Structure 1
Amino acid sequence: MFRSRSGVAAGAFLLATSLALAACSGGGPEDEGSDAKTLTLWHYEGPTSAMGIAWTKAIELFKASHPGVEVKFEEKGFEQIQQNAQMILNSDSAPDIMEYNKGNATAGLLSKQGLLTDLTAEAAERGWDKQLSASLQTTAKYDDQGIMGSGKFFGIPNYGEYVMVYYNKDLFAKNNLAVPATLDEFTKVMDAFVAKGQTPLAVGGAEYPAQQIFYELALAKADRAFVDDYQLYKNQVDFKGPQLSYGAQTFAEWVAKGYIAKSSAGIKAEDMGVSWTQGKYPILISGSWWYGRFVSDVKNFPWGTFLFPGNRLHPGSSGNLWVVPEKSKAKSLAYDFIDITMKPEVQNLLGNSGGVPVAADPAAITDAKNKELIDNFTKISGADGLAFYPDWPAPGYYDVLVSGVQGLISGSKTPAAFLDEIAKPYQENLADLGK
């Protein structure tokens, strides 16, 4: 699930160009049934990530079990699909299956618009509904308004994810610092680094990582009722209430104290991750989707992880979804591919490559670090501690949060102004839903 926002404009141009060329090609549609001879598949996982490794294996197994079928795999950027999904899926050049972000503002919106295939019958027939726990099914099901948690299956997740703290053990040991157990201890750790002239946190303010830090801080004051209100619209959310106010004010304080560099407002997720792998920062707060890549890329120092200190709730959910566009020309083949990704061979490989599988054999996960990663996810999900992500509640909310948190980092926005800015589109979305 590596996410990169670089080249959004270029990505939009290339996708628009490919759609135009396809429209001029005059090729006729293939049979939607099992006799289709081509499966066009899109995903945005880096080849060395746990998911990228697992999906490569799934493609290999699919080809072996479907002789004569060509797999046209195209790797897309997360932002390419995020920005252009409606245009893509409204065209005759939609892929047969693709990875897509979960949540009301993404998969929910597309399901409401009739752009995704209802997978409920396939989920029951193939047993996917039995392999996914109730908490993981939350992001797979959407009602008629596109709100997650109930209704029909419009996507199938086959891994889990959550936000955690990655740390450089050498830099901690050099400064005689222990893994913090509380938020107060965490701030003292960061104070110790600042006192030595070291910015503690690697942060990507130009993309998703910074807003997830803000959300972790808000969750420090939250309970399940707040999450249900914010994400599922159970009750009205007070944006000046204790949760979001604490998140915004504390985030701004972290910038003022030097925990977060002001220059990080323009840093993308990729550059954040690379800087941490190079040992330039002692701490990085981000998701489990980095884990497999760090296993392969970090060569010069030992590292570990811990959950955000003191929190019972954490950003996280099922992983992204395999969705089948309504205009898919090979739906039967798409269902077969999803089924393969849920098989033990692929799920166990995912777990042993640094991912969080949903249907692996625990005894087949051999690496101690990977077991820790999976055990922490099991601990969080078992305690109903998955709080989803801050950008999910409203269409376009991702960009609103990116811009807002960048303002907190640069100092151009006060916490109060930031909260007003993110409240407006949230409330507008509620009005559109009749809430």
Structure 2
Amino acid sequence: MFRRIRRGRTLALALGAASVLALAACGGGSGASASGKTFTVWWYEDAGNPQDAAWQDALKDFKAAHPNVKVHFERKVWQQIQDAGAMILNSKDAPDLLEYNKGNATAGAVSSKGLLTDLTSEASSQGWDKIAGSALTVGTYNSKGLMGPGKLYGIPSYGEYVSFAYNEDMFAKYGVKVPTTMDELDAAFAKFKSEGITPLAESAADYPAQHLLWGLALSYADHGWLNGYFGLKAPLDTSSDSPLTKAAETIADWTAKGYIDKKSSGMKPEDAWSLFRSGKAPITYAGTWMAGDFRDNIKSFKWGQFLMPGSGINPGSGGNIWVVPTKADNKDLAYDFIGLTLDKKRQDLMANAGGVALHADPADVSDPTGKMVNQTFSQLVSSDGLGLYGDWPVPNFYQVIQSNTQTLVAGRQTPDEFMKQLKTAYDQVQSTVGG
């Protein structure tokens, strides 16, 4: 987030400076222990999700391979790292390894401050660059902290994308076919609305609605526009032809037609997911981090997924990244653990848990949900169809987009007013580091 966002995670309240220091201190640092070294690793994946399952398995093998090393693992929440990442990394108590949020405003910002270890040569010698391939884009930043050609500061071990999840039984009951064009999507929404059903379960009090905004923007975009947007090549285009303007207008239109409930402006992600799981809403727009949840918790109907119609570009990328703080005490141990998360055992495990692996063996993926999401991700990669996330270009853009998308869905802001707010935040940074 857009993950950022990552998305689907329980968010904590923003941390003050005192709380940040306490957070870092409670990690225990990466100093020596009675049995030798202490390896400290943090991540914020939900317990039991595909990434967590694979990484917990990696921890078991890591401990077996390093019997004299004390392993100190802590589960954080996404918002802690989003809000306090720079202060954590700049602390003497920084962990040896942590999952970090990708994008110019997060990993890019801290890499430009010298807070992350350059992993370029390590990735080459370990073969991580061949395993992760183009997914390494999310860990590569230049001296200004802009994603793209530059040094490698983060290693993803999984992939992700956002798509519509839909209730196959409700589609069949009301004679709705899976949309392949925007007109067909609008017609599907209209059919459900005519039956007294709000078609799209949405959350605008948090990240899902801005994922929808970005998905719509990408449906109108091409790679030329994307390169300019993420590269801060020019001030933000707010004309009527801008993909973002069209996306804002579409959301306003869908809300006015009742396809999105205005009450969504006060709903959290779990509220939207619950509406979909319960069969009260036939469609939701969710990332692959929810695929395992839907597989495990939807028992009363069959569900599937379809991509946003339009250009063929969809929100998605390599997953959030492993970073090694410059101040880490045990970088060699961090490299060992990264390697375990990228090996065949963990990649296959992740895929069979419903996650998107970077190089799982298709022959070893038996889980139907795992097959579905990994095949779609592979198709998006091969077609250059991963459009990253719209909040990445500038610091604090996540908060700007989220708060204004919430206001847009609530009907308290016009698309023009929405775009003016985004332009102010984007142009302030573009004028100093872009071009």
Do Structure 1 and Structure 2 share a fold, with TM-score over 0.5? Answer: yes
Q: 2:13 aligns with which of 8, 11, 18?
A: 8
Residues 28 and 224 (structure 1 numbering): CA distance in 2 closer, same or farther, change over 3 Å? Answer: closer
Alignment map for 1:230-309 (pairs within 5 Å):
230-242=229-241, 243-309=243-309
State the AA in 1 paired with 2:388. F
Q: Partner of 1:317 in structure 2?
A: 317
The runs of 5 or more residues in structure 1 that have no matched partner are none
How far is the alpha carbon of 1:145 from its aligned partner? 0.6
Residue 197 (structure 2) aligns with: 198
Q: Secondary structure of 2:291's partner?
A: helix
**Helix, strand or coil for the counterpart of 1:131?**
helix
Q: Partners in 1 of 2:296 and 2:93 — Cα distance?
A: 35
Q: Is the 8 A contact 2:30 2:330 kept in 1?
A: no
Distance of 2:372 and 2:26 partners within structure 1: 48
CA gap of 1:412–1:364, structure 2 versus 1, over 3 A, is same
Alpha-carbon offset, residue 21 of structure 1: 6.7
Cα distance between partner residues in 2 of 1:227 and 1:81: 26
CA–CA distance in 2 between the matches of 1:299 and 1:87?
44
Unmatched runs of 5 consecutive residues or more in structure 2:
1-5
CA drift of 1:412 comes to 1.2
Measured in 1, the distance between the counterparts of 2:126 and 2:305 equals 36
1:175 deviates by 1.3
- The question of whether the paired residues in 2 share the 8 Å contact of 1:141 and 1:148 is answered with yes
Contact 1:229/1:237, CA 8 A, preserved across alignment:
no
- Identify the residue that residue 406 of structure 1 maps to in structure 2: 406
Over 3 Å counting, the alpha-carbon distance change for 1:21 and 1:192 in structure 2 is closer
Distance 1:283 1:28 in 2: 45
Q: How many residues of Structure 1 are paired with residues of Structure 2 in the alignment?
A: 428
TM-score (norm 1): 0.93
Give the aligned partner of residue 424 of structure 1. 424
Matches within 5 A, 1:50-199: 50-134=50-134, 136-199=135-198
Distance 1:307 1:231, change over 3 A: same
What amino acid is the match of 1:172?
Answer: F
- 1:14 Cα shift? 4.9
Paired with 1:2 and 1:61, the residues of 2 have a C-alpha distance of 28
Range that drifts further, 121-130 or 13-22 = 13-22
Q: Which amino acid aligns with 1:385?
A: G
Contact 1:100 1:323 (8 Å CA) reproduced: yes
CA distance in 2 between partners of 1:284 and 1:375 (Å):
20
Q: RMSD across aligned C-alpha pairs, in angstroms?
A: 2.1
Q: Is the 8 A contact 2:144 2:433 kept in 1?
A: yes
Q: Give the match's secondary structure for 1:37.
A: strand
CA-CA distance at 1:19 after TM superposition: 4.0
- Superposition TM-score, scaled by structure 2 size: 0.93
- Cα gap change, 1:117 to 1:28, in 2 (>3 Å): closer
Partner of 2:3: none
What's the counterpart of residue 17 of structure 1?
A: 22
Structure 1 residues 228 and 169: alpha-carbon distance in aligned structure 2, compared to 1, 3 A threshold: same
Shift of residue 68 of structure 1? 2.2
Q: Distance in 1 between matches of 2:36 and 2:381?
A: 39
1:190 aligns to what SS in structure 2?
Answer: helix
- Aligned letter for 2:333? L
153-162 vs 171-180, greater mean Cα deviation:
171-180
User: CA deviation digits over 1:164-205, x for unaligned, max 9?
Assistant: 110111221221212111111111111111112211111111
The 2-side partners of 1:29 and 1:364 are apart by: 40
CA distance in 2, matches of 1:404, 1:358: 34
Q: Relative to 1, partners in 2 of residues 1:11 and 1:353: Cα closer, same or farther, differing over 3 Å?
A: farther
Distance between the aligned counterparts of 2:383 and 2:14, measured in 1? 41
Identify if the C-alpha distance between structure 1 residues 18 and 319 changes in structure 2 by more than 3 Å, giving closer, same or farther. Answer: closer
Q: Counterpart of 2:289 in 1: which secondary structure? A: helix
Say if 1:424 and 1:236 are closer, same or farther in 2 by CA, change over 3 A: closer
